[in-house]
Structure formats: C-alpha cells, structure tokens
Chain A
Amino acid sequence: MSDQPERASPSTQAQPPVEGLDLRRRLAEPGVVQRIVAASFAWLVTILPVAYSRAGTGALKLIAFLALGSALAGPLLVPTRPRLGRHLGISGFLVAAGIVWTAGSAALEPTRLDSLRGGIGAVAWGVYAFSWGEPWRFGAPSAEPGGALLRARAALPPLAVPIAGIGIVAGLLLLGGAWWLRDGTRALIGHAAAVGMATALVTVAASVAIDRGKRGSAQSAIGPRAARALMLLALVAVLGVVAIVVRR
C-alpha cells in the first residue's frame, strides 16, 4: 500500500479521495457510520461470543479485537484511502472473523448454537454486506461549482419503495426463518432454499417496483407468455391441492 491517496474504486468514484479529513468529517461521509454500525453489530453477535467462550484463548480474544479494530478503521479510511479502507473493512475483518470461528469452532457446534442468536447473526452479516455494496447517499448530491445538476431522466412509479421493501423484508424473514429448522438435513436444505428464495424475491420485487407503468395503454392486456405463466401457476396450484387431499 502506498502512502499516496489512491484512486477511488468504481463504487466511490463519485467522491474522489480527499486528504486530511478529521474524524467528524470522515463520519459525515456517505456510508461510514452505517458500515461501522453494521460491522460492530455483526462482531458483537457472532465473533465476540466465540472469543469469550470456553474455547476462547487470549490470542483468540486479541484476534477478535483486531477484527473490531479493522472493522472500525476500514470505513474511516475509505474517504481518503478507498483501497486500503476496503481491504481493512472487508478483507481484514473477514480474515480475522474466519480465524476466530475456526479456532473457536467448539463454540459453534449446532447443539450449542442458539437459533435466535444465529438468525440475528445471519441478518447482521447480510446488513454488513449491503453496507459495503454501494455508498449510502441520504442527502441531495451537491453540484460542482458552475456545473449543471444531474437530474434523473425518469421518476420512480408510485409505491416503488414499499414494493421493493416487501421483497427485502420477506427475504430477510426467510433467511431468519431457516434457523428454526431443527432436523439436520432439512436445516441444510432450508438454508440453501432460503438464500435462493430471498435472492429471487428481492430481484423480482425490484423488477415489479420499477417496471409498473412502463407498459403503454396499447400493451395493457396480458400477453401470451404471461398468460401461459399464469395458467401453469393455476394448474400446479390446483394439482398440488388435489394431491395433498388425496394423500390424506
């Protein structure tokens, strides 16, 4: 890593690195607080308990706190040193977490795992991953002096955010719900299915949220492909109900 400020990664190109930001300004940068909070929560729920379990040695506790330091320092460095910040906040944190989990694996045996804490931990790591996905921008983007403010070419259809929210919440509930499966084989299948279902739900919810209103009045009727999909759905639904009734 060089001492010079690095070029911003694609996700941070909108805000070029700035030298010499104080702590308050660093915390005000988009995404910094969110990344710190998400990583700290994941650390509290899934790493700290392992380090302080019976399997936890002094070295393990030290690595756990190094993970926390890495998770806190990474986001703070992103505004000035994006690459170093991402390596610390993502790579460093994940490597340290992996070492703690591997060395303290006795504390992670399925019989000793609390399903509620496991569910919260899964959600916490999901939020952590989302927090590093794209810069968080709550405020209006500031225009460069003399430059024209970039405007979106189209507005979102009404109810786009709640519809996308339904998909995200349902996906998170599915991921959490998989932790309630007790039977070993079914739990494994349930987790795999929950990940797939959550991904599909979020993707389709986003698609439904933004695709509404794109159809013109001439295209308002349901097309042949959609009709086939609806008929297949109805057929499977009816056949399934019949099969369930017959099997009783």
Chain B
Amino acid sequence: MSRAVDALAILLLVMASSSFGFGLYALGHQEDFRALYLLAVGALALRASTEILRPRSGSG
C-alpha cells in the first residue's frame, strides 16, 4: 500500500507538470479558459501530491 501511495504521488507530480505545460501551450494559442482550467488542475494535483505523503498523525 505504501508503495502504491508513493507511486500515486509521483504520478500526480508528472500530471501536474504536464498540465502546466499544456496550460502554457493553451495560453499561447489564445485558449484562455482551457489554460486556466489546466493550470488549476496542475495546482490541485501538486497539492494532492504533497497531501498524500504527509503523515496522518499531524493532520487535522
């Protein structure tokens, strides 16, 4: 289970990187809504990536 969580964290990090990249690409092609959506997905993926590795004892 621990390895699966680690793998999920790495997957989310890669997903965030890709999402940011495609967001910037969409911004360059004047697709502002899509760019905003992809940047938001990237930010949430980054947050989830750190949250799932955080020890549960400190969580509120």
Contact = CB atoms under 8 A, between A and B. Distances in A.
Main DSSP-derived SS at the A contact region: helix
Contact of A200 (B43, B48, B53): B43
A241 to B, nearest CB: 8
B21 to A, nearest CB: 7
Contact of A190 (B2, B27, B41, B48): B27
A161 interface: no
Nearest to B46: A204
A186 B40 contact: no
Given A163-B10, A244-B37, A177 B24 contact: yes
Name the interface size band of chain A: 35 or more
Given A174-B20, A200-B43, A215-B5, A166 B14 contact: yes
A219 B48 contact: no
B30 A186 contact: yes
Contacts of A232: 44, 48
A115 B41 CA distance: 28
24 contacts: A166-B17, A170-B20, A174-B24, A177-B24, A186-B30, A193-B24, A193-B39, A200-B46, A205-B13, A208-B9, A211-B9, A219-B55, A222-B52, A226-B54, A229-B48, A230-B51, A233-B12, A233-B45, A233-B47, A236-B40, A236-B44, A240-B41, A244-B33, A244-B37
